[in-house]
Structure 1
Amino acid sequence: MKISILKNQLVQAIQNVHKAVSSKSTIPVLSGIKMAADEQGLHFTATDLEIGIETLVPTLIDDEEIVQVKEAGAIVLSARFFGEIVRKLPGKTVEIEVKQNYLTIIRSGKTEYNLHGLDHEEFPRLPQVADNQVFSVQSDILKDMIRQTSLAVSTEEIRPVLTGVVFALKNGNLKFVATDSHRLATRESIVEAPPELEFANVIVPGKALNELGRLLADDDSLVDVLVSENQVLVKMGLTKFYTRLIDGQYPDISRIIPSTFKTGLTVNTKELQGSIERASLVAKENDNNLVRFNIKHNRLEITSNSPDAGKYSEPIDEIEVTGDELVIAFNSKYFLDALRVIDSPDILIEFTGSMSPFLIKLPDNPRYLHLILPVRIY
């Protein structure tokens, strides 16, 4: 293989696929990035066998030559060394040439590196995903859906299905649900899909979705999502993201979402977030980051205390309250996680009692919902 490529394009391609490089595998080839040159350009691939990322740097972009393929071929190079070397190269273009025994020469300006590569034939092939179940969604919407639900996945492997976000699609409505049994997040969006396309219980690992979120652009470009029996493939322009699905049956969450409420509270998102953050400075010294709400006479008082740290109290008067008075306690971390992914200036919180789950909603977006279980305080 012998190619020449613009350095900035090479750096970006390595950064894109690097997210899928295995950091713990005992298989040497999985700690590398595969490069393959052909008439299309330069293909980059990385995988840890759970997720896989493939991106293409084409020979031409807007009639500008990006990659010059002088000799087709492929090689696997150490992701750590390759990435660090390329970022520090001095020139605007980089030449890569593979010699006998996988010796790879990297040149830029007056700088030259000789790296020991690996046989590309030993690199795992990414799965083939059938395209009979495919829908399209805006990149920024998918990014938001991931951001607003993946925070609620479980980090414990006791129940593997809870470490993922479950996808469901019906009548063009895509729904994400995640829960760790202490909190729950749902987000829905209308997507472009064939009328007959329908699926449920597609459980995507939360860690994989977080990596996908970092790849997705903050714009309205369409991405294609292909769902198969045990894989999901997301196509973003010239980049493809693969992930395995989690096997198992996701719990039915419809039974735990309250349909009625006794107390409603509308409050400014940032003001509430600031107050809970201040309360959590004391709350984090107790067992479960406990913070209390005392809702009374159109006034919200937020308190926390710890035998070691002391006490905190702050009222918020600029609120709207409907229904009954209430005292309720909760884990402040869970509440702050929810507030930090909300873009709305105000939120609506609905309570059904001091020991019942409460809901965080957006007044201007009924497609988002966050549920938190309270903590017993007596």
Structure 2
Amino acid sequence: MHITIDRSHFLTAIQSVQKAISTKTTIPILTGIKLSVTEQGLKMTATDLQIGIETIVQKEQNGETILQIHQLGSIVLTAKYLGEIVRKLPQATVDIEVKQNYLTIIRSGTSEFNLHGLDAEEFPRLPQVTGNQVFSIPSDLLKDMIRQTVYAVSTEEIRPVLTGVVWSLKEGNLKFVATDSHRLASRKVQVEAPEEMQLFNIIVPGKSLLELGRLLSEDDTLVDIVVADNQVLIHMGRTQFYSRLLEGQYPDTTRIIPNTYKTAVQVKTKDLLDAVERAALIAKDNDNNVVRFNIKQMIIDITSNSPDVGKVSETLKPIQVSGEDMIIACNAKYLIEALRVITSPEITVEFTGSMSPILLKPLDNPGYLTLVLPVRIY
């Protein structure tokens, strides 16, 4: 194998695929990136066996030569060293040549590195995901859906299905739901899909979605999603992202979302977030990170106390309050994380009772809601 490649394009490709590499693996070849040179270009692949990322560097882009192929072939190079070397190289182009026994010479300007590679035939093959379960969604919208739900997945392996976000699709409505049994986030949008296409109980690991979110662009370029029996594949231009799906039945979360409320508060999102973050400075030193709300007509008193530290109190003036007076408390960390992913300037917060879920609804996004379970304060 022997190529000359534009350094910036090469580095971008390395940074994309290395998101699939686990730092905890004990299998040496999984710490590497597979480089495969064909007549079409340079294909780069990385996987930790749970997720896989594959991207292609073409020979030309916008009339500019990106890649010159001198000899076809393949090699696996350790991602950590490859990325650091390419980032520090002095010239705009990089020459990579594989010699006998997988010795790889990387040249740029007067710099020359010799890296010991691995046999590309030993590298795991990514699954061939095929099927007619395909739908499309703008990249920025998918990125937003991930951001607004993945924070609520469980980090504990006691119930593995709760470490993922469950997807469903019916009549073109794509819905993401995540819960760790203390909070819940749900986002629903309309997507481009065949009318008859339906998906249920597609559980994508939260860790996979975090990496996918970092790969997705902030524009409205359409992304194609293919769902197979135990895999999901996301096509993003010249890059493909694979993830295994979690097995098991996701719990029915519709039963815990209140349909009615006793008290509703309309408030500026940033004002509420700032107030809760200030209260959390004291709350983080009490047992349950508890912040307490005393809701009266046009006033919300927010308080927190810790026997060893002290207490904090603040009065927040909402835009509107309707219903009964209410005293309720919740975990400040959960509420802060929910508020941080809401982009709407104003939200409605609905309360059904002191021990019923607190529901947060952005005013300009009816497809999104999040809830936080309260904690007992007496």
Where on the TM-score scale, by shorter chain, does this alignment land: which range?
over 0.9
Question: 267-276 vs 314-323, which deviates more?
Answer: 314-323
SS, match of residue 365 in structure 1: coil
Q: Which deviates the most, 22-31 or 325-334? A: 22-31
CA distance in structure 1 between the aligned counterparts of 2:225 and 2:353, rounded to whole angstroms: 40
Displacement of 1:288: 1.2
Matched residue, 2:312 = 312
Contact preservation (8 Å) 1:156, 1:163: yes
Q: In structure 2, what is the equivalent of residue 195 of structure 1?
A: 195
> Unmatched 5+ residue regions in structure 2?
none
The within-5 A match list for 1:109-120 is 109-120=109-120
Is the Cα–Cα contact under 8 Å of residues 265 and 318 in structure 2 kept in the other structure? no
Say which SS state the counterpart of residue 285 (structure 1) adopts.
coil
State the secondary structure of the residue aligned to 1:85: helix
Does the aligned pair in 1 maintain the 2:266–2:318 contact within 8 Å? Answer: no
User: In the TM superposition, what are the counterparts of 1:78-117 in structure 2 within 5 Å?
Assistant: 78-117=78-117
In the alignment, is the contact (CA less than 8 A) between 1:146 and 1:210 conserved in 2?
Answer: yes
Task: Tell me the distance in 1 between the aligned counterparts of 2:244 and 2:99.
Answer: 35
In 1, the alpha carbon distance for the partners of 2:258 and 2:22 equals 42
Corresponding residue pairs, total: 378
CA distance in 1 between counterparts of 2:130 and 2:98 reads 34
Partner of 2:28: 28
Once the two structures are superposed, the pairs formed by residues 186-335 of structure 1 within 5 Å of their partners are: 186-335=186-335
Match of 2:4 in 1: 4
- Shift of the alpha carbon at 1:184? 0.4
Question: Following superposition of structure 1 onto structure 2, how do residues 164-175 of structure 1 map, counting pairs within 5 Å?
Answer: 164-175=164-175
Q: Which residue of 2 aligns with 1:178?
A: 178
For residues 275 and 343 of structure 2, the distance between their equivalents in structure 1, rounded to whole angstroms, comes to 17
Instruction: Report the Cα offset of residue 23 of structure 1.
Output: 1.4
What does the per-residue CA deviation read over 1:190-213, in whole Å, with 9 as the maximum and x for residues that have no partner?
Answer: 000011110100000000000000
- Structure 2 distance, partners of 1:369, 1:214, is 23
**Residue of structure 2 in register with 1:358 after alignment:** 358
Alpha-carbon distance in 2 for matches of 1:154, 1:26:
25
2 CA distance for matches of 1:337 and 1:48?
28
2:175 maps to amino acid? K
Q: Name the amino acid aligned to 2:252.
A: D
- 1:233-260 superposed Cα distances (whole Å, 9 cap, x missing partner): 0010000000000000000011111000
Structure 2 counterpart SS, 1:248: coil
CA deviation map 1:160-182 (0-9, x unaligned): 00000000000000000000000
Q: Does 1:43 align with 2:47?
A: no
> Separation in 2 of the partners of 1:133 and 1:221?
20
The one-letter code matched in structure 2 to 1:120 is A
The SS at the match of 2:367 is strand
Question: What residue in structure 2 maps to residue 123 of structure 1?
Answer: 123
Report how far residue 318 of structure 1 moved. 3.8
* Contact 2:201-2:249 within 8 A present in 1 as well: yes
Q: C-alpha separation between the residues in 2 aligned to 1:335 and 1:341?
A: 11
Query: Once the 2 structures are TM-superposed, how far is the Cα of residue 22 of structure 1 from its aligned partner?
Result: 2.4
What does the per-residue CA deviation read over 1:74-99, in whole Å, with 9 as the maximum and x for residues that have no partner? 00001111111110000000000001
Aligned partner letter, 1:149 = T
Instruction: Give the match's secondary structure for 2:84.
Output: helix
1:59 aligns with 2:62: no
Please give the TM-score of this superposition, normalised by the length of structure 1: 0.99
Contact 1:300–1:319 (8 Å) recurs in 2? no
Q: Distance in 2 between matches of 1:124 and 1:249?
A: 29
SS at 1:8 equivalent:
helix
TM-score after normalising by structure 2: 0.99
CA contact (8 A) 1:203 1:250 kept: yes
Counterpart of 1:71? 71
Shift in Å at residue 287 of structure 1? 1.1
**Letter of the aligned partner of 1:121 in structure 2?**
E
* Letter paired with 1:312: V
- How far apart are the structure 2 equivalents of 1:324 and 1:22? 51
Structure 1: state its 5+ residue gaps: none
Deviation at 1:319, TM superposition (A): 2.7
- Tell me, what secondary structure is at the counterpart of 1:366? coil
Secondary structure in 2 aligned to 1:114? strand
Aligned to 2:375: 375
Cα offset for 1:54? Answer: 0.3
- Which amino acid letter does the alignment assign opposite residue 284 of structure 1? K
Q: For residue 148 of structure 1, what is the aligned residue in structure 2?
A: 148
- CA deviations 1:280-319 (Å, max 9, x no partner) are 0000000111001110121111100000110100101243
The CA distance in 1 between the partners of 2:318 and 2:27, in whole Å, is 59
How far did 1:368 drift? 0.3
- AA paired with 1:184? L
Checking the alignment, whether the CA contact within 8 Å between 1:299 and 1:319 is kept in structure 2 is no
Q: Which whole-Å CA distance do the structure 1 matches of 2:206 and 2:320 have between them?
A: 35
Partner of 2:137: 137
3-state SS of 2:143 partner: helix
Secondary structure of 1:377's aligned partner: coil
Give the match's secondary structure for 2:144: helix
- C-alpha distance in 1 between matches for 2:20 and 2:357: 37
